[in-house]
Amino acid sequence: MYSGQIVFAQLMEFLPRHDFHRCVRRYRGDARNRGFSCRDQFLAMAFAQLTYRESLRDIETCLRALGPKLYHAGFRSKVARSTLANANERHDWRIYADFAQVLIAQARTLYAHEKWEVAIDQTVYAFDSTTIDLCLKLFPWAHFRRRKGAVKLHTLVDVRSKIPCFVHVSHAKMADVSVLDHLDLEAGAFYVMDRGYIDFARLYRFTRKMAFFIVRGKRDLDFGRQSRRAVDKSTGLRSDQTIVLKGPKTSTLYPVPLRRVTYVDAETNRRFTFLTNNFSLPALVIAQLYKSRWQVELFFKWIKQHLRIKAFYGTSPNAVKTQVWIAISVYVLVAILKRELQLPRSLYEILQILSVTLFEKTPVFEALTSQNSARENNLGCNQLHLFDL
């Protein structure tokens, strides 16, 4: 019989504790903790994410029911609804944002050589935003429309590893394109975006930083064609042109040539126009890279379905951002666990298993691969069979 750590404690061992405490000290998170530290808060919120708790009372009830197991899980304080609520209000959300970046860097290193269907060596990012609806009476600071509150989650996802690399939580009224100013552009990388991010002054910043963008073009774009290249129309391509902007404003904001690629999707018969500042990749690869933008949509769908970011445990901006960043940390932690243990299961399956085995004394690898049950099935059974065939 296994007598080591419980699954939750084994899972938390994958977190770099030194880096976590460094983030806490950076923002003086434990200066006035009143017996409930930032680590206890992170553990409680991670437990809530992994077990799909509905409220602070739900978290308190479930954790108290575990009794002495809490100490072995890493908790050093009594978990009460009021103390957890105060921690969500007072502990700076930037502690968990910075720690999430530590985990993201670790995960990207592990997934750096992940195989991908597009033959390209450069890093490809997909950028988009999603709106999280809030109750206006409970979140009056998040006023969006007349009777609706909301915040926006602006996310940059590494397409190859499917790891979120940049997350910005903003007011829902914030324009998507303005978040481009917050991106630390990586030279040589590709940034794939929808047409909502067309702002030629900001796109010209990509060119000056030697980064590449692929953005879906608008129909009313005023341009002049400089040259064109032959395309294989059997692949769905319709044109590959070098253009210059001719509008009195756009020509000043983006004064250098652009590449314009037109593609028709055979499945939907929809016509797409892409603008990019890359002139070396084949036109079909440009279309394939834009198709990979769907990875950020899949990330939004996954995190909304499987983690707690649509129902919040606190109503202040600090509590909301804290919960979002801890949810992202849990997502990245599960991705790290999957790669470190070479697990064949999907992230969804891993989360489902963890939700019912967190406080069992089982090696985490066995819990997630069912090797223990397979071994038990191979042992002799002394029970008599009801029907002998």
pLDDT of residue 216: 95
pLDDT higher than 80, residue 35: no
At 376, is the pLDDT very low, low, confident or very high (cuts 50, 70, 90)?
very low
Q: Distance (Å, rounded) from C-alpha 109 to C-alpha 325?
A: 20
Neighbour count for residue 386 (Cβ, 10 Å): 5
pLDDT value at residue 380: 45
For the residues 371-376, what does the mean pLDDT come to?
44
Q: How far is CA 226 from CA 165, 257, 287, 324, 336, in A?
A: 37, 8, 21, 47, 48
Most confident range, picked from 80-89, 202-211, 263-272: 202-211
Looking at residues 275-303, what average pLDDT do you find?
93
Q: pLDDT at residue 37 above 60?
A: yes
CB 24 within 8 A of CB 38: yes
Give the pLDDT mean for 292-299: 91
Say which residue, 198 or 117, is predicted with more confidence: 198
Q: pLDDT value at position 383?
A: 47
d(CA 171, CA 144): 8
| Mean pLDDT (whole number) for 246-271 | 94
Q: CB–CB of 242/305 below 8 Å?
A: no
How many beta carbons lie within 10 A of that of residue 348, not counting itself? Answer: 12
Check whether 374 has a pLDDT greater than 50: no
- Calculate mean pLDDT across residues 291-306: 90
Beta strands per DSSP E along 195-336: 212-216, 223-228, 237-245, 258-264, 271-276
| pLDDT at residue 326 tops 70 | yes
Q: How far apart are CA 321 and CA 153, in angstroms?
A: 10
pLDDT at 359: 92
Residue 354 and residue 7 in contact, taking contact as beta carbons nearer than 8 Å = yes
The answer to which of 54-68, 299-313, 354-368 has the lowest mean pLDDT is: 299-313
For residue range 2-31, what is the model confidence (pLDDT) as tens digits? 557 899 999 999 999 999 999 999 999 988
Number of Cβ within 10 Å of residue 10's Cβ equals 18
Q: For residue 94, is pLDDT > 50?
A: yes
Percent of the chain with pLDDT over 90: 75
Question: d(Cα 275, Cα 294) in Å, to the nearest integer?
Answer: 17
pLDDT for the residue 33 = 64
- The helices-and-strands tally (H runs, E runs) of the chain is 15, 10
Can you tell me the distance from the alpha carbon of 54 to that of 74, in angstroms, rounded to the nearest whole number?
Answer: 22
CA atoms within 13 A on the CB side of 372: 10
Instruction: Give the three-state DSSP class for 88.
Output: helix
Q: Which two tokens stand for residue 167?
A: 């997350």
Any residues with CB less than 8 A from the CB of 120 and at least 6 apart, and which? 190, 281, 285, 289
| CB-based contact 272:264 (threshold 8 Å) | yes
- Residues 186-204 have a mean pLDDT of 96
For residue 375, the model assigns a pLDDT of: 43
- Over range 70-75, report the average pLDDT: 89
The answer to whether residue 370 scores a pLDDT higher than 80 is no
Amino acid at 190: F
**162-166, 302-306, 376-380: least confident range:** 376-380
pLDDT class for 112, splitting at 50, 70, 90?
confident
- Give domain limits for the chain: 7-95+315-375, 195-292
The structure's pTM equals 0.88
